[in-house]
Amino acid sequence: MPKPTNSRRQFLKTAIGASAAATGLTACQTTGPFGRAPHSPAGARYMGDFAAPALDRIRMGFIGVGGRGTGHVAQMLLMDGVDIVAICDDYAPVAESAAQRCEDAGRTRPAVYSEHERSFEDMIADMDLDAVIISTPWRWHAPMGVAAMEGGAHAFIEVPITTTVDEMWDLVNTSEQTGRHCMMMENVNYGRDELLFLNMVRLGLVGEITHGEASYIHDLRWQMKELDRGEGSWRLAYHVNTDGNLYPTHGLGPVAQYMNCERGGDRFERLVSFSSPAFGRQLSAARDFPAEHERNQQTYQCGDMNTSIIKTEKGRTILVQHDTTSPRPYTRLNMISGTKGTMAGFPTRIALDPEGKGAHGWRQGGELAEFYEKYEHPLYTRVGEEAVKAGGHGGMDFIMLWRMVYCLRNGLPLDQNVYEGCAWSAVSPLSEWSVANGGMPASFPDFTRGRWTETKPLDIVG
């Protein structure tokens, strides 16, 4: 995984300083190395509102069936029109157990690919897949997504879509060249409250939007005990090698869609970022492992709390925070504020000011019933009950998968296009660069190459 090393960071600092001097820019005007878009590949088409031909049934393959992928297999078994024909995981026991789960559900046993870490290429070559769901460690997201699209399948990639701007361009270019969808699977956009807020924002209830707040604050120190298998076994390396926002999209995806970012309404323009000291992971290692243990042989450089601020093209601001280390209750903030009111999550609160007389108190708890009654998102009304029964983060996973299948089978654009997945995920490399450069602003690449203005806002679908 090409993570910037200290020497690469130093190079970036020097290079940026030199280019600022050459162009006469002051340090404040310098906006980092990511802003410029590469040329469009030959034959590229814009994927903003792209709709692929409708599929009667979907031949689906999975790459990665660990903690997350197993859940996706279980829920896809509940969907009409989906044939799970292939499972790939380079750890054979989990691949076999996912295949067995399909057989136990009365389906034909899918083909299993688990020989080595590039077995996914064999699966894609052999199986004539319509769609591939990728739930692997982050360093595999881009090569697997590219391979799936080049093999003719739509790629559905877990969060973040990938971790480097170069790989984001690889995904955009491949999607544009092959005419295959590349959707990052941001499930939080399908949470009940996120859907409610989206509906209320679209109805104009918070007025002109000025500011949003998003975070991933989730104490995951327990993952340090996952040594050989499980997310902690690979994710911890990012705390060692990286200092920035490692996981931005859960909080940010919904806020970006409230604002119609990358979809006609606005666009992420630049970001500044700072990290707090990094204490917690070292303390956990010292508490939970002997001194000679590998967990105590490394330095954790990722600040416990990373705080970034995005400035959008229309001048709005978005606070984005990441902290998976401090002992602190879970929150994604989920706050959206405008000229007529503010809505926030954790706990859910709404304060509207339609008369302009001030909104000095939150309505929350039982007082929210009226809002759910009047403004429940029609998608939640349609599948919410079934989703809650199916489980998976309170139903949001089911609603996301249901919509993916519905859109593919009806030839509709997906709810999240490749440009959104890349813009939301780009907070990771941009924050890392900004932190390493004393909080300097970093410009977002415009993954749409200027065409975001043509893309329709996300519909309120039911």
Residue 89 interacting with ligand NAD (CB under 6 A): yes
**Half-sphere exposure for 214 (CA within 13 Å, toward CB):** 27
Contact in structure between 117 and 90 (CB atoms under 8 Å): yes
Near ligand NAD by CB under 6 A: residue from 117, 367, 370, 454: 117
Q: What is the DSSP letter of 91?
A: S
Distance CA 302, CA 50 (A): 38
Which CB sits closer to ligand NAD, 170 or 231? Answer: 231
Task: Give, in order, the Cα–Cα distances in Å from 345 to each of 197, 342, 445.
Answer: 10, 10, 29
Q: With CB under 6 A as the contact rule, which of the stretches 44-52, 85-93, 264-272, 280-288 interacts with ligand NAD?
A: 85-93
Residue 432 interacting with ligand NAD (CB under 6 A): no
Task: Give, in order, the Cα–Cα distances in Å from 82 to each of 63, 128, 342.
Answer: 16, 14, 40
> Would you give the binding string for ligand NAD spanning residues 223-262, x where CB under 6 A is met?
-------xx-------------------------------
Nearest approach in angstroms of CB 124 to ligand NAD is 12
Cβ atoms < 10 Å from Cβ of 406: 18
> In the structure encoding, which two tokens stand for residue 53, read together?
């031909």
Dihedrals φ, ψ of 318, to 5°?
A: -135, 120
> In the structure encoding, which two tokens stand for residue 223, read together?
């993952």
Residue 137 interacting with ligand NAD (CB under 6 A): yes
Residue 94 interacting with ligand NAD (CB under 6 A): yes
Nearest approach in angstroms of CB 95 to ligand NAD is 8
**Half-sphere exposure for 187 (CA within 13 Å, toward CB):** 19
> In the structure encoding, which two tokens stand for residue 12, read together?
């970036």
Which CB sits closer to ligand NAD, 95 or 383? Answer: 95
Per CB under 6 A, which of residues 196..225 are in contact with ligand NAD? none
> Strands 317-323 and 209-217, how do they pair?
parallel
Per CB under 6 A, which of residues 46..65 are in contact with ligand NAD? 63-65
Which CB sits closer to ligand NAD, 94 or 252? Answer: 94
Residue 414 interacting with ligand NAD (CB under 6 A): no
Which CB sits closer to ligand NAD, 163 or 342? Answer: 163
Contact residues toward ligand NAD (CB under 6 A) are 63-69, 88-91, 94, 117, 120, 135-138, 140, 158-159, 187, 230-231, 393
